Chains A and B, each alone.
Chain A
Amino acid sequence: MSTTRFVQLLDLAAGLVLVTSFAALWLRRLVTVTWVIALQGVALAAVALVIGAYEHETELVLIALMVGVLRGVVLPGLILRAVRAGDEHREVESLINVPAALLAASGLTLVAYATTRDVVALSSTPQVRALPLGIAVMLIGMLLIVTRRKAVLQIMGVLMLDNGIALVMFLGTSGVPLAVELGIASDVLLAMFILQVLTTRIRTKFGGTDLDQLRELRD
């Protein structure tokens, strides 16, 4: 793989991770948002795959395949089950409207670029130059958690936040040992299971997962 082709493919895959996080803010149907999160997982795997293929690291290619299966298929599948199980309203309810959320997300992207300028200045490799994208995806994941009312969407926000962290990891370190990646993967999977069980229990107890109503528990 030539260097220019590598830079193009890397930028494309990392750019897709960012664009999917914007799409998750923009779209309204829960099922579609889940598909977008799955696409983001696949794009993240593509980033690892491109770096692994360019640097001839079989371990990174293996990690890429694992990430693709876990974040592209297994975790979105779990979320999809949670979405389908809830017979509540299938549309996203947000605290701020969609154009405002999109503008806030573009602001966060700028913040990500501004805060990582010193880090990017340290090295001139294409991976490091794409690093702010990972920070931006993390921040947008946090925005998703903060602004959405449904527990299911907040789980998606957590997953997006984690995707952002993984992207920073791939771009910043050119891959970590397989053991560490396995540990992170099982961690995320476990967190998803716990969150899903929690969501189910909230639903059976209160008949819905609108977190605004949980405030009444304090009284």
Chain B
Amino acid sequence: MSPTGIAVAVLQVILTIAVAPLLVGMMRVIRARLEGRVGAPIRQPWRDLRKLLRKQRMVSQNTGVVFSIAPLVLLASAALVAGIVPFLSTTSALDQVGDLFAIVYLLLLGTVFLSLAGLDAGTAFGGMGSSREMTIAAIAEPTLLVAIFALSVSTGSSNLGAIVADTLANPSKAASPASMLAFSALAVVTIAETGRIPVDNPSTHLELTMIHEAMILEYSGPDLALVELAAHLRLVVFLGLLANLFFPWGIATTAQPLHLLAAAGAVTVKLIVLAAVIAAAEVFIAKVRLFRVPELLAASFVLAFLAVTVSFFLV
């Protein structure tokens, strides 16, 4: 574990935490403009977080320890993944543990704790949200695993840094059928896991449809700030995975400050493009009925499965 590697990992965590709320703010502005509204400024999510952090912490007497530690686990797991995933450089200090299985289950850890917290308070909405979240997670997590696994087959390693470096070395890999199938599967999972529109609507508290908002209904003050920040962070982590696994150009292969700066610029541009595409697409599509969501996810699982089959047999 070299000091520069540690520096890269810390830098990645700080940068993603700083950028995440701004990216969410940008997505909200794009949606508002396309809908003909002015919308809140881009830094509004940061202001919301600051406001929530100043407020008093209110916890129901009926809640247990899971309710208190869930925001911390959620944020910590998301931040750890942000440090591992090759955003800036393929030489992060945590690269040895940068295994695709580790990433997927760290992300799942946060999902599980949030669902438990939703159940902990004992309210009807929280339990409903948790049950829905688990319905989605049960299909989304294997899809995520299988989709990234399809990429790792041709690389011969399940290390994310190695996969990214391999795609950098062979650019034609990015256009192979396996990679395209895996990309579409991962895109659906990203939308499902981050609670964007065809699966969940992030901007409403409508009881019939909400998933993520139902689970965090009991949180307030600093706890809510942590949960919100973790949700923003997960969005950036998923978009960053999507961007750098399939379009790794611009990522630094060394830990030199100049290369890192260029890589930070490149990954920011990629994140902005992806977020803008998602935000714009959300204006034009309607939310899928909850009972149709497993169909959508089953289709993405099949795509991921085909990606693995194709990369085993064709290449």
Interface residues of A, Cβ cutoff 8 Å to B: 4, 8, 11-12, 15, 18-19, 22, 26, 97-99, 102-103, 105-106, 109-110, 113, 120, 129-130, 132
Question: Which stretch (B89-97, B173-181, B252-260, B271-279) binds chain A?
Answer: B173-181
Q: Is the CB of A102 within 8 A of B299?
A: yes
Expressed in whole angstroms, the Cα–Cα distance for A19 and B176 within the complex equals: 14
Question: Which stretch (B190-198, B225-233, B305-313) binds chain A?
Answer: B305-313
Q: Is the CB of A99 within 8 A of B298?
A: yes
Expressed in whole angstroms, the Cα–Cα distance for A129 and B314 within the complex equals: 6
Q: Is the CB of A12 within 8 A of B295?
A: no
Q: Provided the pairs A8-B175, A15-B177, A130-B314 are in contact, do residues A113 and B309 lie with their beta carbons within 8 angstroms?
A: yes
Expressed in whole angstroms, the Cα–Cα distance for A102 and B300 within the complex equals: 10
Residues of B close to A18: CB separation below 8 A: 306
Expressed in whole angstroms, the Cα–Cα distance for A114 and B180 within the complex equals: 23
Which 5 interchain pairs have the tightest Cβ spacing? A99-B298, A15-B177, A102-B302, A98-B295, A11-B177
Main secondary structure of the interface of A (DSSP, over half): helix
Pick the most buried of A22, A106, A110, A132: most chain B CB atoms within 10 A of its CB: A106
Q: Is the CB of B314 within 8 A of A98?
A: no
Expressed in whole angstroms, the Cα–Cα distance for A132 and B314 within the complex equals: 10
Expressed in whole angstroms, the Cα–Cα distance for A102 and B302 within the complex equals: 7
Q: Is the CB of A99 within 8 A of B172?
A: no
Expressed in whole angstroms, the Cα–Cα distance for A213 and B259 within the complex equals: 69
Residues of B close to A22: CB separation below 8 A: 299, 302-303, 306
Smallest distance from the beta carbon of A124 to chain B beta carbons, Å? 12
Residues of B close to A130: CB separation below 8 A: 314
Q: Is the CB of A109 within 8 A of B309?
A: yes
Contacts A/B (CB < 8 Å), 30 sampled: A8-B172, A8-B175, A8-B176, A11-B176, A11-B177, A11-B310, A11-B314, A12-B175, A12-B177, A12-B180, A15-B177, A15-B181, A19-B181, A19-B306, A22-B299, A26-B299, A98-B299, A99-B295, A102-B298, A102-B299, A102-B301, A106-B302, A106-B309, A109-B306, A110-B309, A113-B309, A120-B313, A129-B314, A130-B314, A132-B313
- B262-315 interface (Cβ within 8 A of A): 294-295, 298-299, 301-303, 305-306, 309-310, 313-314
Shortest Cβ distance from B307 into A: residue: A15
Residues of A close to B301: CB separation below 8 A: 102
Q: A12-B175, A106-B305 are in contact. List 13 more A-B contacts (CB 8 A).
A: A8-B175, A11-B176, A11-B177, A15-B181, A22-B299, A26-B299, A97-B295, A98-B298, A106-B306, A109-B309, A113-B309, A129-B314, A132-B313
Smallest distance from the beta carbon of B152 to chain A beta carbons, Å? 19
Expressed in whole angstroms, the Cα–Cα distance for A132 and B306 within the complex equals: 12
Expressed in whole angstroms, the Cα–Cα distance for A132 and B313 within the complex equals: 9
Smallest distance from the beta carbon of A92 to chain B beta carbons, Å? 12
Q: Is the CB of B176 within 8 A of A129?
A: no
Expressed in whole angstroms, the Cα–Cα distance for A109 and B176 within the complex equals: 19
Query: Which of B295, B302, B310 meets A15, CB within 8 Å?
Result: B310
Pick the most buried of A8, A15, A113, A129: most chain B CB atoms within 10 A of its CB: A15
Residues of B close to A26: CB separation below 8 A: 295, 299
Q: Is the CB of A103 within 8 A of B302?
A: yes
Residues of A close to B294: CB separation below 8 A: 99
Shortest Cβ distance from B177 into A: residue: A15
Q: Is the CB of A129 within 8 A of B313?
A: yes
Residues of B close to A11: CB separation below 8 A: 176-177, 310, 314
Expressed in whole angstroms, the Cα–Cα distance for A106 and B177 within the complex equals: 16
Expressed in whole angstroms, the Cα–Cα distance for A102 and B185 within the complex equals: 14
Smallest distance from the beta carbon of A15 to chain B beta carbons, Å? 4
Expressed in whole angstroms, the Cα–Cα distance for A11 and B309 within the complex equals: 13
Shortest Cβ distance from B173 into A: residue: A8
Shortest Cβ distance from A99 into B: residue: B298
Expressed in whole angstroms, the Cα–Cα distance for A8 and B302 within the complex equals: 22
Query: Which of A103, A109, A110, A120 meets B298, CB within 8 Å?
Result: A103
Residues of B close to A103: CB separation below 8 A: 298, 302
Q: Provided the pairs A19-B181, A110-B309 are in contact, do residues A105 and B314 lie with their beta carbons within 8 angstroms?
A: no
Smallest distance from the beta carbon of A46 to chain B beta carbons, Å? 13
Residues of B close to A113: CB separation below 8 A: 309, 313
Q: Provided the pairs A15-B310, A98-B295 are in contact, do residues A105 and B302 lie with their beta carbons within 8 angstroms?
A: yes
Residues of B close to A4: CB separation below 8 A: 172
Smallest distance from the beta carbon of B252 to chain A beta carbons, Å? 28
Residues of A close to B176: CB separation below 8 A: 8, 11
